[in-house]
Amino acid sequence: MTSVLVMAKAPRAGAVKTRLEPLLGARGCATLQSELIHAAAQWATAAADDGGVFVCAGVGEAERLRPLVGPGARLLEDREGDLGDRLASATGRVLAERDGPLLVIGTDAPTLTPAHAEAATTALAGGADVCFGPAADGGYYLVGMSRPAPELFALGEAWGGPEVLERSLRRAAEAGLTTGLLDVEHDLDRPEDARTALADPRLPAAVAEALRPGRKGPLVSVIVPTFDEQAELPGVLDHLHGLPGRFEVLVADGGSCDDTVAIAAAHPVGARVLCEGDERAGQLNAAAADARGELLLFLHADSRLPPRAWEALAAAYRDGSIAGGNFTLRFDGDDPLSRVLTRAYALQRRRGYYYGDSSVWVRREVFEALGGYRPLAIMDDYDFVRRLERHGPTARLPGPALTSARRWRRIGVPRTLVSWWLIRGLFVVGVPADLLAGLYGRIR
């Protein structure tokens, strides 16, 4: 019953991969660490039997890793002490719960393949008590064991130095343990390691992208709010999966009772799923806090971005004066209602009025300066947009983006336009959002 334990540090700028900061900067190192954790978790998921993926994080940091490791991983909180103390504790906890073999990795060797797991388990099955994957810098990228062996990790100040593997082998011999060795691999710690990694075809594409200094444009974090969207969600995730550019996808769920969360977690786009917040504003703010991109883009499940969305966003990002904005919008369908809605929306946008269905985007630092979305029963997107417009210049990017007219077809043009302009007017003059939510429901 193979288990895998990943030892990981949360991706905090200035606290991870610091030897790579001359190449990537502190924030770039944090982005790289996120991709390394994700890659390690994927390797672990492929190598472990059901229920056998464990991730050990720093004290108080375990839940920060949940979006990166997926719902199937068990999160363990680190114990105090040096790396050896933490390894001894974590491996003991896993092996107390599950029979071996146990494979332990860090996040510094992103070129591992299924063959490494197979070689380690074969060595253990063939009689080795312990097997090591030697790293080129004198450490090791993997250790496999079938039973607890805390004596292997009592290296004290040797951790991090060039004699880690040598001393570990000596410890194993002193304890009467037979050992096996895997192929040598390179860790990813220094700028010269980055060059070696980028030349390796096994390097995951996302890690390679994070390793390249001066990357061509921003990472865009697409945040999709959901509530019982099992019918719409597969389509928008398929759309995002095929969209060119540097995107990450986060699904901010509001307590769906259908299969929305399961669909999001299983989709190959690799979305991170968050189920936080009591209302939509809380969900969006939680997802924004977890996002890693320089730009945040809020996309409804029934909306689609234009094919060249990332290029447009990257161009706007390079203009440091632009705080955020939206996309030119078209409502789906060729019926009269869709055409009227599209024209009415374009008229409103020329006057600076727009809503969440036009795929609002914003620089991360601007979003944080504005305090995110306010917890309103209705008009939370409009309220955010008005504050964004006051903060600085915005841009309506070319498109068009596409959104569904499904809600408006049910009530027709007159009541649609009333709901847009009457409710907005009442909100502007100070009518409480709770009262407007009731009026909105009656109009619809």
The domains of the chain are located at: 3-210, 216-404
Return the closest-CA partner of residue 55 out of 37, 29, 39, 81. 37
Q: Which residue has the tokens 């393949």?
A: 113
| Cα 346 from Cα 348, distance rounded (Å) | 5
Architecture of domain 3-210: Alpha-Beta Complex (3.90)
Q: How many residues does the chain have?
A: 444
Q: What type of residue sits at position 123?
A: A
User: What is the reported pLDDT for 5?
Assistant: 97
Q: What type of residue sits at position 392?
A: G
Copy the structure tokens of residue 189. 């710690």
Question: Phi and psi dihedrals of 4, rounded to 5?
Answer: -130, 130
User: What is the reported pLDDT for 26?
Assistant: 77
Domains 3-210 and 216-404 are alike in CATH topology: yes
CA 389 vs CA 284, 323, 349, 393, 394: distances in Å: 19, 8, 11, 7, 6
pTM: 0.55
Tens-place pLDDT, residues 195-237: 899 999 999 988 998 888 665 678 899 999 999 999 999 999 9
User: What is the reported pLDDT for 372?
Assistant: 96
User: What is the reported pLDDT for 441?
Assistant: 47
Give the rounded distance of the alpha carbon of 158 from its chain centre. 34
Low-confidence ranges of the chain (pLDDT < 70): 63, 213-216, 278, 337, 377-378, 405-444
Question: Phi and psi dihedrals of 58, rounded to 5?
Answer: -65, 165
User: What is the reported pLDDT for 318?
Assistant: 85
Q: How many CB atoms lie within 10 A of CB 187?
A: 21
The dihedral region occupied by 333, where left means phi > 0, alpha psi between -120 and 50, and beta the remainder, is left
183 exposure class (CB count in 10 Å sphere: 0-12, 13-18, 19+): exposed
Q: Homologous superfamily of 216-404 in CATH? A: Spore Coat Polysaccharide Biosynthesis Protein SpsA; Chain A (3.90.550.10)
| Cα 126 from Cα 188, distance rounded (Å) | 30
Return the closest-CA partner of residue 134 out of 159, 178, 89, 168. 168
Give the rounded distance of the alpha carbon of 367 from its chain centre. 18
Q: Give the chain as a 3 state SS string.
A: CCEEEEECCCCCCCCCCHHHHHHHHHHHHHHHHHHHHHHHHHHHHHHCCCCCEEEEECCCCHHHHHHHHCCCCEEEECCCCCHHHHHHHHHHHHHHHCCCCEEEECCCCCCCCHHHHHHHHHHHHCCCCEEEEEECCCCEEEEEECCCCHHHHCCHHHCCCCCHHHHHHHHHHHCCCCEEECCCECCCCCHHHHHHHHCCCCCCHHHHHHHCCCCCCCCEEEEEEECCCCCCHHHHHHHHHCCCCCEEEEEEECCCCCCHHHHHHHCCCCCEEECCCCCHHHHHHHHHHHCCCCEEEECCCCEECCCCHHHHHHHHHHCCCCCEEEEEEEECCCCHHHHHHHHHHHHHHHCCCCCHHHCCEEEHHHHHHHCCCCCCCCCHHHHHHHHHHHHCCEEEEEEEEEECCHHHHCCHHHHHHHHHHHHHHHHHCCCCHHHHHHHHHHHC
User: What is the reported pLDDT for 153?
Assistant: 92
Question: Phi and psi dihedrals of 146, rounded to 5?
Answer: -105, -10
